[in-house]
A and B are shown apart, each in its own frame.
Chain A
Amino acid sequence: MKLVKSLLATAVVAGSLGGVAMAQDKVTIGVSVPAADHGWTGGVNYFAQQAIDRLGATYPDVEFVFASAPDAPKQIGDIEDMVATRGIDALVILPGDPDAMTSAIKQVKDAGKFVTVVDRQLSIDGVEDLYVAGDNPGLGANSAEYFKQVMPEGGNIVILRGLPIPIDQQRFDGFMGGIEGTNITVLDDEFANWNRDDGFKVMQDFLTRFPDIKGVWAQDDDIALGAIEAIKQAGREDEMFIVGGAGMQQMLQRVQAGDKLVPIDVSYSPAMIATAIELTTSHFTGGIQVAGRYILDSTVITAENVEEFLDAESPF
């Protein structure tokens, strides 16, 4: 660990020296994201590339360095390289594993770079200049609000969760807090790993186990799409509704079509990476103040407002 740290420090020092040698008017922004290992991170990669292409064309003086990494050690290596060899002035990072990467990101900050952290909270406060994220507790709470509204007398529901990481816990706590004191009964909750195949399997077994399910909270659109196939297979699509999350185009189209099984969706868009890159670029090009916390709403998407979220170009 010590060795890694001293190597890192060397890299940072070398990087800042290199930075001084470079032309002052050129700005380099490093963008580091996790590899596209599921639908949502796939969207992150897409929107990051798109924002970089657009901003690179608008501001010829801003250069972008983009890297996507399958795991935390590789991502730490990426940002070390960015500081050491590319002389970045700012880092926009969506840390795959925020706890493991906090100290590495702090090194970048200590070297005097502008740091923007996206989506996942680092384990210590005050490292980042700008924090851009979705509202996870809000995603749970807003979903719970909908369940309360359509199930005033209460009833049985099941929950399909993501992976056991803080984001999932925040959503879950937000939801459970929201339905507290109502007659809504959570029959069981299981992890479906933000994955369609697992959503299918877990839902199949929930359907076997519980003869009476009125609602399903999948809190993610990939899980929801798998679960929908299981519900269709059991022929029980008229008995229940399902609420996902993220705002995947395929789900939004169902909301738009008035599908009774998918009445709403809740936004948690991977495009937040584009927001972060855009704001960071403005810090250098516009000279406007952007530092602070920027939390995007987890908006409830219904048939009324679905138009503004539909985007035929998006792969997500």
Chain B
Amino acid sequence: MSVSAPDIAAKPARGFRPDLKTIGPLVALALLILLGITLNENFLSYNNITNVLARSSFIGIIAIGATFVITSGGLDLSVGSMAAVIAGVMIMVMNWLIPSFGIGWSVILAGMAAGILIGGAAGIGNGLMITRGRIEAFIVTLGTMGIFRSLVTFLADGGTLSLNFQVADVYRPVYYDGLLGIPYPILVFALVAIGGEIVMRRTSFGRHCAAIGSNEQVARYSSINVDNVRLITYILQGILVGVAVLLYVPRLGSASSTTGVLWELEAIAAVIIGGTTLKGGYGRVWGTVVGVVILGLIGNILNLQSFISPYLNGAFQGVIIILAVLLQRGGRRD
């Protein structure tokens, strides 16, 4: 609570004297980009930038949903497993519809609709258990994380679910092609991010999320329907996981029990690197976007150099994440 109060007070001054807390993630991003440029001349090439952004877009879209969940004081650990189940079911639905629909976009659109629906339904399930069942979000989503993960293993019979090759060929451009040279995944990520920023800053829903995360009791007394707002954040999260999977499936055309492993931690890390507070009350969608790009670039930079032993990849990643958060915390008085 004490975190969010000075922010509101400092808001008018932001344009004139940007404090470290605001620009911290940007400084970290700039430093990473500088490091990348010095390591490899191809770092800023069109191909490399679009590669990194396109493959970060799944985590990015999921992380924007997570920004809302975390801002309102919740947590969703199930998103990675949920993504795997949605991918698996989408592939099964599409394969199953081929005899009746034939090879073409109608099958793919039906698969996409199924993906969004399952995502939404999973979100409703999580949300209802948390808001109506009064169970801790951590426990509910830890439980559904396990349920979704074994469900995909079961559906795939322990192996890999593969999309029919002809349909995969039709679907493929959704990941690999784009508009005006910008791949579709990046465009969708950008649209979701802009939409998320507007909802967070300019709508009563966004302000209610922050209010609930900041102090649930006060929010309740201010006649905010706490349960419904919370429920909506989980549904939104589920739908956004569905959207991310729509872009993921055309990349490899397959889903297995390894799909989306640890995506939940990457999404949460991106949200926190971006300046949203883990205990809720303050959320920053554009910060999440910066966080996602930082995480994507770390992996990219590690692959573009050979000074750091691959055994130490995890350590490098850890140092950068802590550094990025340290940069923004440095400006805070105690």
Residues of A bordering B, CB below 8 Å: 35-39, 41-43, 45-46, 161, 164, 188-191, 195-197, 200-202, 204-206, 208-209, 222, 225-226, 229, 233-234, 250, 315-316
- Bound-complex Cα distance A199 to B256 (A): 14
B251 surroundings in chain A (CB, below 8 A): 200, 229
**Other 11 A-B pairs with CB < 8 A, given A205-B304, A229-B251:** A42-B160, A42-B257, A43-B158, A164-B310, A191-B313, A195-B258, A195-B261, A196-B258, A200-B252, A208-B42, A209-B42
Q: How far is the CB of B149 from chain A (nearest CB, A)?
A: 9
A315 touches B157 (CB 8 A): yes
The contact sample of 9 A-B pairs, CB cut-off 8 A, is A46-B158, A164-B311, A196-B256, A200-B55, A209-B40, A225-B254, A315-B156, A315-B158, A316-B159
B55 surroundings in chain A (CB, below 8 A): 200-201, 204
Interface residue tally for chain B (C-beta within 8 Å) = 32
Q: B228 an interface residue at 8 Å Cβ cutoff? A: no
- In the complex with contacts A42-B159, A46-B159, A209-B40, A202-B303 CB distance below 8 A: yes
- In the complex with contacts A35-B153, A46-B159, A188-B306, A208-B47 CB distance below 8 A: yes
A45 touches B252 (CB 8 A): no
List B residues 98-148 near A (Cβ within 8 Å).
none
A42 touches B256 (CB 8 A): yes
A191 touches B159 (CB 8 A): no
Q: B259 an interface residue at 8 Å Cβ cutoff? A: yes
Closest B residue to A35 by beta carbon equals B153
B258 touches A197 (CB 8 A): yes
- Bound-complex Cα distance A250 to B254 (A): 12
Q: B4 an interface residue at 8 Å Cβ cutoff? A: no
List B residues 290-320 near A (Cβ within 8 Å).
299-300, 302-304, 306, 310-311, 313
A197 touches B158 (CB 8 A): no
B257 touches A38 (CB 8 A): yes
- Bound-complex Cα distance A202 to B52 (A): 11
Q: B48 an interface residue at 8 Å Cβ cutoff? A: yes
- In the complex with contacts A190-B310, A208-B47, A208-B48, A39-B159 CB distance below 8 A: yes
For the complex of A and B, 4 pairs with smallest distance between CB atoms: A36-B158, A205-B303, A315-B159, A42-B158
A316 surroundings in chain B (CB, below 8 A): 159
B254 touches A196 (CB 8 A): yes
Q: How far is the CB of A252 from chain B (nearest CB, A)?
A: 14
Interface core residue of A39, A45, A46, A189 (most chain B CB under 10 Å): A39
B300 surroundings in chain A (CB, below 8 A): 205
B222 surroundings in chain A (CB, below 8 A): none
Q: B225 an interface residue at 8 Å Cβ cutoff? A: no
Interface membership of chain B positions 191-206, coded 1 if the CB is closer than 8 angstroms to chain A and 0 otherwise: 0000000000000000
Closest B residue to A194 by beta carbon equals B258
Q: B162 an interface residue at 8 Å Cβ cutoff? A: yes
B160 surroundings in chain A (CB, below 8 A): 39, 42, 222, 315
- Bound-complex Cα distance A119 to B36 (A): 40
B256 touches A191 (CB 8 A): no
Closest B residue to A196 by beta carbon equals B252
Q: B22 an interface residue at 8 Å Cβ cutoff? A: no
- In the complex with contacts A42-B256, A188-B306, A36-B48 CB distance below 8 A: no
B45 surroundings in chain A (CB, below 8 A): 208
Q: B286 an interface residue at 8 Å Cβ cutoff? A: no
A164 surroundings in chain B (CB, below 8 A): 310-311
B311 surroundings in chain A (CB, below 8 A): 164
Q: How far is the CB of B55 from chain A (nearest CB, A)?
A: 6
Q: How far is the CB of B245 from chain A (nearest CB, A)?
A: 13
Q: B164 an interface residue at 8 Å Cβ cutoff? A: no
Q: How far is the CB of B276 from chain A (nearest CB, A)?
A: 26
Closest A residue to B43 by beta carbon equals A208
- Bound-complex Cα distance A195 to B260 (A): 11
B299 touches A201 (CB 8 A): yes
Q: Which of B40, B176, B258, B310 contacts A37 (CB 8 A)?
A: B258
A43 touches B299 (CB 8 A): no
Q: Which of A42, A204, A222 contacts B51 (CB 8 A)?
A: A204
Interface core residue of B153, B176, B251, B258 (most chain A CB under 10 Å): B258
- Bound-complex Cα distance A222 to B299 (A): 20
Closest A residue to B302 by beta carbon equals A190
B306 touches A233 (CB 8 A): no
A41 surroundings in chain B (CB, below 8 A): 158
Q: Which of A35, A190, A222 contacts B303 (CB 8 A)?
A: A190
B258 surroundings in chain A (CB, below 8 A): 37-39, 195-197, 222
B310 touches A191 (CB 8 A): yes
- Bound-complex Cα distance A160 to B157 (A): 27
Closest A residue to B301 by beta carbon equals A205
A197 touches B303 (CB 8 A): no
Q: Which of B159, B261, B303, B310 contacts A201 (CB 8 A)?
A: B303
B252 surroundings in chain A (CB, below 8 A): 196-197, 200, 225-226, 229
A233 touches B303 (CB 8 A): no
A42 touches B156 (CB 8 A): yes
- Bound-complex Cα distance A37 to B300 (A): 25
Closest A residue to B39 by beta carbon equals A209
List B residues 256-305 near A (Cβ within 8 Å).
256-259, 261, 299-300, 302-304
- Bound-complex Cα distance A208 to B52 (A): 11
